[in-house]
Amino acid sequence: MRRDGGEGLSARPGPVTRFRVRRVSGSAVRDRRDDLATEEPLEIRLLAAGGDARTVAITMRTPGADFELAAGFLHGEGIVGPGGIAAIGYCTDEDLDPEARYNTVTVRLTAPELPDMTAVQRNFVTSSACGVCGTASLDALRDRCPAPALRPPVAVSATTLYALPDRLREAQGVFGRTGGLHAAGLFTPEGAPVAVREDVGRHNAVDKLVGWALMGGTLPLDRHVLLVSGRVSYEIMQKAASAGIQIVCAVSAPSSLAVDLAREFGVTLVGFLRDERFNVYACPERIDVEREPSISVAPPP
């Protein structure tokens, strides 16, 4: 897969934007610089080998790993699969404002025609806060995801899970500067970090990870554990299932639809993973827990 260059484009926005702020603490007032997580729109365009083009999404995101975000989003929606992308690059259309060119990504397909996207029931304008407005049909997801019985066995210990939130936080460089980003991390079943991505949208962070795997030829991710820094929504479960991930963890709660999806597709779903405790909402058999021995207390004579 080729990554097109961005010659002639304006300055690329970064993940952090600096502002002057006034900090008030008690009766003390001080003007200082503050770093905020950047939030800007990203337009994702498709370009078929035959020349047809179409905008498929506009999402609010934190700049960085934009090509991975585009690839992961398209994979999660079933629009492209392995081998389906020929190149990804920033748009260089002359009619586009220079400052917007790093906010527009063109995905060049290997197929001669654009895919049929009538099954994708959605509004293609999304936000970093709420994720996808609408989803691909469950039938389409069922067609793309293997049955649980066909997946290789994978298991992880509770002790390993306990260590993951700290390892994710250690890899969040931009969060350390801004305190305002979500993160998604891939780990081995032994707890070793594989890749971490940050974004103002938790679903964008997952798309960046899936796009990283798609562009690197490492899908499916059936031997990895996914950890997200916030809650687990239906969209995140959809993206994880599409990527073949069998264990999804979150430091916060899952939604009811996320639990329904995890149970239907055989994905282990862990929530409230913090302070050496967690809840398992689906498929607990993949979690190895060393149970404390029960203590029998004899009744008094």
Residues that constitute the known binding site: 272-277
Cα distances (Å, whole numbers) of residue 291 to 9, 90, 268, 270, 297:
58, 53, 19, 18, 18
202-216 vs 234-242: helix crossing angle, rounded to 10 = 10
Nearest of 243, 213, 216, 211 to residue 107 by alpha carbon: 211
Cα distances (Å, whole numbers) of residue 120 to 116, 183, 231:
9, 26, 24
Contacts of 241 (CB under 8 A, 6+ apart): 141, 145, 261, 265, 267
H/E element holding 74? Answer: helix 66-76
130 catalytic per annotation = yes
Q: Say which DSSP state 128 is in.
A: T
Contacts of 121 (CB under 8 A, 6+ apart): 134, 135, 136, 137
As a whole number of angstroms, the distance between CA 288 and CA 101 comes to: 49
H/E element holding 182? Answer: strand 182-187
Of these residues, 130, 133, 145, 249, which one is catalytic? 130
DSSP symbols for 201-265: SHHHHHHHHHHHHHHHT----TT-EEEESS-B-HHHHHHHHHTT--EEEESSPBPHHHHHHHHHH
- Phi and psi at residue 74, in whole multiples of 5°? -65, -35
Q: Say which DSSP state 296 is in.
A: -
Which residues are paired to 280 by β-bridges?
270
Q: Which residues are catalytic?
A: 130
